[in-house]
Structure formats: C-alpha cells, structure tokens
Amino acid sequence: MAQQSGGSIINFSSINALLGPSNMPGYVTAKAGVVGMTKALARDYGESAIRVNAILPGWVVTERQLNTWLTPEAEADWMKQVALKERLQPSEVANLALFLAADDSRMITGQSFTIDGGRT
C-alpha cells in the first residue's frame, strides 16, 4: 500500500468490546484489542497515506444467526435494546466498509464505527 500511495485497512471488532458482556472475557478482550490496534496502526501507517479504521457491528442477521440463535424471544429482547427497530443486515455493514475503503473517506483514520441500530 505504501508503494501505491496509500490505501485503507478495515478491521472488524464488535459492540461487545464496548458492552463487556459476562462470560465472554476472551472474546471481549480480543475485540477491544482490535480497537486499540486500529488506533496504533493508524499512527504507524499514516505517513504512508494508509488509513486504518474499525467497524463494530451489533447483531447482524446472517443465515448462521437465523439458524442458531435468532429465536423470536431473542429478537424481541434485542428490539427492546435498539433505537432502530429493524434487523441489521450484512449489506449495511458492507456499505460502511465500502465507504471506508473509498476515497470519500480519505481523511478518516484511527476511528471505530459502531453499526448496531442504536444499541450502544
């Protein structure tokens, strides 16, 4: 990227890095570490015009979620916790990643973007 006059690195964390749910210390620590690494790498690579940002999604409704965890009760509980009463779709996370990869975000680096329908 440095030889190509810059670029964009997009890391993925989770809102659990912010919420710190119980019984998940390893996962929460790892996801929080991604946020810290994003900040550090943004400084390290900035002189090479490489931007580094992180996306922290909430509960994205994927096939795995639908087949494994998204029961009507779990979804009702989730909807009580969010401001926007809709399911977060993979395409919405992808659109945020596309923006961060594009030149439109050329002055954004070292940031963590939460996309969770207003839960956090």
Whether the CB-CB separation of 38 and 11 falls below 8 Å is answered with yes
- The catalytic residue among 12, 27, 64, 106 is 27
Active site residue 45: no
**Which element (helix H / strand E) includes 50?**
strand 50-57
Among 80, 66, 120, 117, which Cα is nearest to 96's? 117
Query: Catalytic amino acids?
Result: 27
